[in-house]
Amino acid sequence: MFACLMSTLPSWPLLFVALLVGVIQCFQSKAAELDHDKFAVKRTSMVKTQIEARGVSDQRVLRAMLATPRHEFVPDELKSKAYEDSPLPIGHGQTISQPYIVALMTEALRPREHERVLEIGTGSGYQAAVLSPLVKEVFTMEIVEPLAQRAAATLARLGYLNVLVRAGDGWLGWPEKAPFDAIIVTCAPDKVPPALKEQLKDGGRMVIPVGKEGEVQQLILLEKNGASLNQRALLPVRFVPMTGARPE
Ligand SMILES: C[S@@+](CC[C@H](N)C(=O)[O-])C[C@H]1O[C@@H](n2cnc3c(N)ncnc32)[C@H](O)[C@@H]1O
């Protein structure tokens, strides 16, 4: 009977391998948990010391910054720097913006739950991810096609289902999806693109850095009021230029 029982059990080497695999998996999931905790601690500190301390106070924006895993939007070798107070390179000569600037621009945009927002300059997809829980839909355009593809893949992997990425020139906006309640631009043209003015709803807001390449740019808040656009300078900034062909 004993012999019969032994033949139904897996052999010892097999049992040993199964045990080993189980132990490795357990260590791997523990390591992932610790990583997750480590990044969450850094993120909490980022929000307190870099963002709240500089005057961003909208609780919805602060919660979105706390919830968005910036380390998932930077290259692997820069993950340890993801919560530092600076922009970081993302390839193709482009950057993910400084967390404080992302928070400040998001607050200035005054996003509301039922709204549709257009972003020009997807880059890594991080700004779009921050906006995602604050509005109904985010439409985001990126002129560098591989960046658009990578951002779309990252956003899909992380479950940001209300963000639509399109590769194309944001100078022209996204007429098929217009009008928008708000528009946020994260690259600097030398003047406000006329198409973006047109694609903004009456009562809508636009946050945009404007200025010539190499010079100090101004971050501007525009509010559309019928035929007029009220304009307020927020602060001097330095963004990568808006590229693309311009009609004369
Ligand atoms: C500072 S990065 C944007 C950071 C991004 N919002 C993020 O969260 O990672 C500016 C981006 O604007 C893009 N860009 C420049 N000119 C553009 C244009 N005409 N249309 C769309 N995107 C443009 C650049 O390729 C770059 O990825």
Which tokens belong to 233?
């300078």
Cα 30 to chain centroid, rounded:
27
User: Which residue among 86, 94, 97, 196 has the greatest number of ligand 1 atoms within 8 angstroms of its CB, and so is best to mutate?
Assistant: 94
- Residues annotated catalytic, as ranges: 97
C-alpha of residue 100 to centroid of ligand 1, in Å: 17
Amino acid 2: pLDDT:
45
Amino acid 28: pLDDT:
63
C-alpha of residue 121 to centroid of ligand 1, in Å: 3
C-alpha of residue 224 to centroid of ligand 1, in Å: 24
How far is Cα 180 from Cα 118, in angstroms, rounded to an integer?
Answer: 6
Taking every pair of C-alpha atoms in the chain, what is the biggest distance, in angstroms? 92
Domain ranges (residues) in the chain: 47-237
Amino acid 129: pLDDT:
98
Residue 215 dihedral angles phi and psi, to the nearest 5°: -100, 165
Residues 6+ apart with CB under 8 A from 175: 195, 199
C-alpha of residue 40 to centroid of ligand 1, in Å: 27
How far is Cα 94 from Cα 210, in angstroms, rounded to an integer?
Answer: 18
Q: What confidence tens digit (pLDDT) does each residue in 142-161 have? A: 999 999 999 999 999 999 99
Place of tokens 């022209």: 172
* CB burial readout 63-90, b (16+ within 10 A) else e: ebbeebbbbbbbeeeebeebbeeebbeb
List all residues whose CB is within 6 A of at least one atom of ligand 1.
Answer: 94-97, 120-121, 123-124, 126-127, 141-144, 147, 169-171, 186-187, 239-240, 242-244
Strand partners, 51: none
Q: Which atom of ligand 1 is nearest to the CA of 73?
A: 9
Q: What confidence tens digit (pLDDT) does each residue in 170-183 have? A: 999 999 999 999 99
* CB burial readout 208-234, b (16+ within 10 A) else e: bbbbeeeeebbbbbbebeeeeeeeeee
Q: Which CATH class is domain 47-237?
A: alpha beta
Would you say 113 and 134 are in contact if contact means Cβ atoms under 8 Å apart? yes
User: Which residue among 109, 144, 149, 190 has the greatest number of ligand 1 atoms within 8 angstroms of its CB, and so is best to mutate?
Assistant: 144
Q: Which atom of ligand 1 is nearest to the CA of 170?
A: 20
Alpha helices in 83-175 (DSSP H): 99-109, 126-131, 145-157
Place of tokens 């340890």: 80
C-alpha of residue 123 to centroid of ligand 1, in Å: 5
pLDDT tens digit at each of 248 positions of the chain: 444 444 555 676 777 777 787 766 666 665 665 566 899 999 999 999 999 999 999 999 999 999 999 999 999 999 999 999 999 999 999 999 999 999 999 999 999 999 999 999 999 999 999 999 999 999 999 999 999 999 999 999 999 999 999 999 999 999 999 999 999 999 999 999 999 999 999 999 999 999 987 788 999 999 999 989 999 999 999 999 999 977 65
Q: Which atom of ligand 1 is nearest to the CA of 130?
A: 8
Write down the pTM of the prediction.
0.88
Q: Which atom of ligand 1 is nearest to the CA of 92?
A: 25
